[in-house]
């Protein structure tokens, strides 16, 4: 087996910083969503604008990179259609369910509950692929689920219906990641993600037109839309891509556990959201369980095993 490439230590720290900034960008998504909702923007229109802008910019980036590297603009037709369907069929309902739930719960609360998805990934792997999890992995899954139950039971920053919607989004996101981790490498990270975003954008634009969903009508609404599309999607993914050139995906996945913490902090500072003691306990249990789970995946990847939980196959 080939020896892993040794990265320059200073370059590695730069990579860590880029991954932290990327996680912060992704963490801003529910906060920008809340700002858009406050101005009267409705979820479907919000997502149509977000994915439409992000997909256009990502496709432009794909064109530039493909031209500079002298490679085909898009993968084979079959792969291209598969990527578009991945965005339309799996990413679309996950994102919609999350942002519908976000209307009922706080930004930090929603982001933390979404982070139960690694537990769902482990369950899917065990059931669908008969991958036997370790005792520690099982304990982490139980811990994440228990933490979610405690957090939902606190009912601080939202209601039960919104909590169930976000947990449902986490389950769909886990299915999406399991499928995407096997399909996106066929297309390449940048073109694959651009196509997934495009598939989701087409569906959301059609839904927005059919339902006559209300879009942004003032500065607050446009701040939410542009923040989600640019900072929360394009910039976050760009930083992630550059950072992954300096640190391994398994290391990046562990760093990503900062994301819900940043979301909670942004919710408190920007939106004035409160955090109750029971909610803090539940969130801490979730993050500790997920952190240990991802750390174990990182160690397995370093030993040459294929990671089961890899949150970096595409933008959420």
pLDDT tens figures, 89-101: 999 999 999 999 9
Q: Helix, strand or coil for residue 113? A: helix
pLDDT at 165: 92
pLDDT, one tens digit per residue, over 34-90 is 999 999 999 999 999 999 999 999 999 999 988 988 888 888 999 999 999 999 999
> Is there a domain that residue 55 lies in?
yes
Give me the number of domains the chain comprises: 1
> Is there a domain that residue 74 lies in?
yes
pLDDT for 308 beyond 60: no
Higher per-residue pLDDT: 61 or 123? 61
Task: Calculate helix-pair angle for 92-101, 43-69, nearest 10 degrees.
Answer: 140
Average pLDDT, the chain: 81
Average pLDDT over residues 287-305: 68
> Is there a domain that residue 5 lies in?
no
Query: Which of 2-11, 29-38, 187-196 is the least confident region?
Result: 2-11
Helix (H) or strand (E) holding 121: helix 117-128
> Is there a domain that residue 128 lies in?
yes
> Is there a domain that residue 11 lies in?
no
Q: Are 48 and 207 in contact (CB under 8 A)?
A: yes
Distance CA 237, CA 312 (A): 9
Going by pLDDT thresholds of 50, 70 and 90, the confidence category of residue 8 is low
Q: CA-based Rg of the chain, rounded to a whole angstrom? A: 19
> Is there a domain that residue 36 lies in?
yes
pLDDT for 315 beyond 60: no
pLDDT for 2 beyond 50: no
Closest CA to 308 of 111, 83, 144, 128: 128
pLDDT at 255: 74
Letter string b/e over residues 37-47, b meaning 16 or more CB atoms within 10 A of that residue's CB: bebebbbbbbb
Closest CA to 84 of 193, 214, 238: 193
pLDDT at 5: 45
Residue 253 lies in domain: 20-302
Q: Are 65 and 134 in contact (CB under 8 A)?
A: no
Q: Are 196 and 143 in contact (CB under 8 A)?
A: no
pLDDT at 219: 92
Going by pLDDT thresholds of 50, 70 and 90, the confidence category of residue 312 is very low
Q: Cα-flanking dihedrals φ and ψ of residue 48, to 5°?
A: -65, -45
Higher per-residue pLDDT: 118 or 162? 162
Q: Are 35 and 227 in contact (CB under 8 A)?
A: yes
pLDDT, one tens digit per residue, over 206-261 is 999 999 999 998 999 999 999 999 999 899 888 877 776 777 665 666 677 778 88
Q: Cα-flanking dihedrals φ and ψ of residue 42, to 5°?
A: -95, 155
Higher per-residue pLDDT: 290 or 305? 290
**Hey, how many other C-beta atoms are within 10 angstroms of the C-beta on 301?**
18
Cα distances from 189 to residues 172, 184, 211, in angstroms, run: 21, 6, 33
Q: Are 239 and 25 in contact (CB under 8 A)?
A: yes
Q: Cα-flanking dihedrals φ and ψ of residue 274, to 5°?
A: -95, 160
> Is there a domain that residue 315 lies in?
no
> Is there a domain that residue 296 lies in?
yes
Distance CA 224, CA 34 (A): 8
């Amino acid at each position: 087996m080939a020896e892993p490439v040794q990265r320059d230590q200073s370059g590695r720290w730069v990579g860590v910083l880029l991954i932290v900034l990327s996680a912060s960008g992704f963490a801003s998504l529910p906060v920008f969503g809340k700002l858009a909702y406050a101005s009267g923007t409705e979820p479907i229109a919000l997502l149509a604008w977000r994915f439409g802008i992000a997909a256009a910019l990502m496709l432009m980036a794909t064109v530039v990179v493909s031209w500079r590297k002298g490679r085909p603009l898009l993968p084979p037709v079959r792969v291209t259609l598969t990527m578009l369907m991945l965005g339309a069929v799996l990413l679309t309902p996950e994102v919609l369910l999350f942002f519908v739930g976000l209307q009922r719960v706080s930004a930090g609360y929603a982001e933390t509950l979404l982070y139960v998805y690694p537990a769902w990934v482990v369950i899917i792997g065990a059931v669908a692929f008969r991958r036997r999890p370790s005792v520690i992995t099982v304990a982490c899954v139980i811990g994440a689920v228990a933490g979610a139950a405690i957090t939902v039971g606190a009912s601080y920053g939202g209601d039960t219906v919104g909590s169930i919607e976000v947990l449902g989004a986490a389950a769909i996101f886990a299915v999406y990641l399991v499928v995407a981790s096997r399909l996106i490498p066929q297309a390449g990270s940048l073109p694959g993600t651009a196509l997934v975003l495009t598939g989701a954008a087409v569906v959301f634009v059609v839904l927005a037109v059919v339902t006559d969903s209300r879009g942004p009508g003032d500065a607050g609404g446009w701040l939410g839309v542009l923040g989600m599309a640019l900072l929360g999607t394009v910039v976050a993914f760009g930083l992630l891509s550059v950072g992954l050139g300096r640190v391994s995906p398994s290391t990046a996945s562990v760093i990503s556990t900062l994301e819900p913490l940043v979301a909670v902090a942004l919710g408190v500072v920007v939106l004035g959201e409160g955090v109750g003691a029971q909610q803090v306990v539940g969130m801490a249990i979730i993050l500790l369980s997920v952190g240990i789970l991802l750390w174990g995946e990182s160690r397995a990847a370093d030993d040459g095993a294929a990671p089961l939980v890899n949150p970096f196959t595409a933008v959420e």
